[in-house]
Amino acid sequence: MKKGQFSRDWSLLKLARTWEPRDIGGEVIERVIQEGTPEAVMGILHAISDIGFEDGLKAKERMPPFMQPSDIIETTLLVAGVEVEHQDTEDGPITIVILNAHGLFGYPFSMAEPAAAYVTGYVRAVTEGAAVTREGNRLRIRF
């Protein structure tokens, strides 16, 4: 045995015990949004919105016909750990979504753009004609 072999092996053993594969997708998205060209940013956000739309269609298909779109959206977001406020107004119900991408994606985005794109796509799939507007770190959904 060479001098220092035990120390090297011990260090490698510690590394092997603690190493875990990681999903770098969130980091890639965040870097492209922060540093990419406007076209790249729009492409990423469009893809995220499309994924939200696809997920919304799947959720809507699994629900019985009597389920209200607002209930489907609010329940999905609450289960994901995203804060939601519901308001009943004279013009109809409004859902306010506090954009928290960590709850949606499991990656702590430092920006709200990915969550806004996903939720907007999801809402388009579940509802017909709901108006979605962004107000800072919130989305307002008027049904």
DSSP 8-state assignment for residue 98:
E
The SS3 assignment for 96 reads strand
Tens-digit pLDDT profile for residues 23-41: 788 888 889 999 999 999 9
**In terms of C-beta density within 10 A (0-12 exposed, 13-18 middle, 19 or more buried), how is residue 22 classed?**
exposed
pTM to 2 decimal places: 0.80
Q: Assign domain 24-142 to a CATH class.
A: alpha beta
Kindly list the domain boundaries of the chain, sorted by start residue. 24-142
**Per-residue CA distances from 75 to 8, 81, 89 (Å):** 52, 10, 20
Q: How many secondary structure helices (H) and strands (E) does the chain include?
A: 6, 4
Tens-digit pLDDT profile for residues 102-122: 666 766 667 788 889 999 999
Gyration radius (Cα) of the chain, Å: 21
